[in-house]
Structure formats: structure tokens, C-alpha cells
Amino acid sequence: MKEKKIYPFTAIVGQEMMKKALILNLVNPLLGGVLIRGEKGTAKSTAVRALAELMLERRQVEDCLFNCDPDDISSLCDDCAAKTEAGEEFGVITAPMRVVDLPVSATEDRVVGSLDIEQAIKKGEKSFEPGILARANRNILYVDEVNLLDDHVVDVLLDSVAMGTNTVEREGVSISHPARLTLVGTMNPEEGDLRPQLLDRFGMVTDVVGEREVDDRTEVIKRRLEYERDPDAFAAAYEPQQQIVRESVMNAIAILPEVVIDNETVNTAARIAIELQVDGHRADITMVKTAATLAALGGRTNITKADLREAAVLALPHRMRRRPFEEGKLDFSIVDAILQDETQHA
């Protein structure tokens, strides 16, 4: 059976901030991923799955269960590291990043992998069946309805995202492997909130709502019907736009290492975080990294005030201190006042 073409990313009407957040994480996987919150039927899952068609190819070790980067010795799995120490050469292939699904119903063993204890005891060999986290290394891990995940799975996910490593231990036998992944989650707030510990692990959060203008809603309907009528022709029509996005991502990846993060940018980010009373330091760091990535996406090596403001929109609201049942809302008058003050003193 022929595989149906994915709905093109560039065919999604509106939702510009959601699309921008996803593109930024393609350019810079170190941003910490994104949580997309919104009512049902607002293209959340469609956008994430469509991202797969925009992913660029990268080098990885051939036949490695964990997609190891042959150019980064520090992040190799045990098998690849052992070959390197023994002076053996391993095959290298190019393959695109992938979107790896983590179902809400997934058990802990399915997520982290499982060890064959009997073989370990009888033969002294570690037999490991890789889980979802193994496949997600150097890829995007997508969790739909992330707020409905089992608490045990959430704890495992938190540990792996924080350490960049997944460790499985059973009956005194343990194995570890790299789990450096970009976490992308979608959720409908009406179905329940997200644990603060997991919420903070998302580098950025964006909220989406359905289109409110008649013309925009009409276009959503027309495009969806056209896609369902002939997915191949619809995807082909948007391929030139898809290629433009791919090239912009490629250019941004090349520019990103050259972006200058000056003291003024860092100082401004710190002032914004203090004034808005955000918890911890992760917000400041993410804001600066996001601003740098926005600059690269804009083809620049300098960070502007506009970059910082847009970064604040994505990195701060979900980290603002708030009382129970009170939603975090970003007071942009404070952000704008700080940015204006910095401009006047420049």
C-alpha cells in the first residue's frame, strides 16, 4: 500500500508563532524543545508531523541503534566508543532527523528499553532491547497529549532530558546510552494541566487557537479538502515553499556559530527575568539562546532587541511565578520598558 503524503508544513494556515518555534528547534536542537498548547483541531499534531519533511540530513554511525554522531566522540554510545578506543573504523551514513512518537499509553519498559536479566546472570552478557528513548537520540521525541502521560514515564523523561542519558537498571545490572533529544509536546489545556517539573523542561511554549477570520477559516477548509482529494498533487504544489524553508534552516545552522552574544544581550535578558520574577535561571539562558537562533534565522550575526522580545514571548510565560490556578501571563509593558531603557543607554 502506497504511503500517504504528509500534509505540508508550509500549507498550514496561520499559527505563525507555533511554526516559528518548531523551525527554531530544527536550527538549534539545544533550545530544549517546545510545548504547543491549544484547543482541539488547531493543527498542533499536523505541524509536528509535517516537520519531518523539512529535516536536513546529518552524519550518523551506520547500524548504530542510537544514531551516534561520528564527529562527536564525547556523545558516543558504549559500543561505538569501544570501537573508537580499539582503533576500529565504523561505517558512516547520512540520514535525516526523525520525529519519534511516544504514545501516551507507553509503558516504562517500552520507553527506556528492557534488559534480559536471565542472559546477564547465566552468560554474563548484557542483552538490551532498545526503547523509544534509544530511537529518539539526536531526533525529535513527540508526545501528543503530553499532559496525560503516566507519572512514572514523566519521571523517566525528566531524567533523560536533564542528563542526556538513559540508564536502565534491573537486579543490579545496568546499561546506559545517549538520549540527547528535542522534546516536542502537544496538549489541550481543557484535558488537564502539566506537572511544573515537566513544563519547565520545555525550552519554549506557544499557545494556539483556531482562526477567527472568515477568509482564514475558509482557506483552512479549502486546503484540507484539496489535500484529501489528491495528497500527492497537493504536496507537490507546496514543494517550492518547503524547499525555501529547508534552505533557510540550512543557512541558519551555518550562521548560528557566528552569532555574537554580547554582554548587553545577556544583561538585558537577566533584567527581564528578574523583573518578571521567573523561576530559576533556565528562562534567562533559553531566552538568550533563542534570540541568537532568531538572529541566525534572519541571516544576521548580531542579536537585536526585536530578537530578544520574540524570544521572551516563547521562553518566559510558562516559567513565570504564579499562585495556584493562576495562569502565567507575560506583561509586555515591562519587557518593552526594559528594552527601551537599554536602547536609550546604548
Residues in the chain: 346
Cell of 153: 514515564
Q: Which residues contact 61 (CB under 8 A, 6 or more apart)?
A: 67, 68, 69, 70, 76, 80, 90, 91, 92, 93
Which residues does the annotation mark as catalytic?
Answer: 282
User: In 94-131, which positions are buried (b, 16+ CB within 10 angstroms) versus exposed (e)?
Assistant: eeebbbbbbeeebeeebbbbbbbeeebeeeeeeebebb
Coil vs helix vs strand at 35: strand
Cell of 281: 535561571
CB atoms within 10 A of CB 139: 19
Please return the burial class of 17, using the count of CB atoms within 10 Å of its CB with bins 0-12, 13-18 and 19+.
Answer: middle
Q: Which residues contact 333 (CB under 8 A, 6 or more apart)?
A: none
Rounded Cα distance, 144 and 259, in Å: 33
Please return the burial class of 308, using the count of CB atoms within 10 Å of its CB with bins 0-12, 13-18 and 19+.
Answer: buried
Half-sphere exposure of 226 (CA within 13 A, CB side): 16
Residue 93's closest CA among 72, 73, 70? Answer: 70
Coil vs helix vs strand at 149: coil
Residue 312's closest CA among 269, 260, 281? Answer: 269
Q: Sheet containing 99-101: which strands, arranged edge to edge? A: 99-101, 140-144, 182-187, 34-38, 204-208
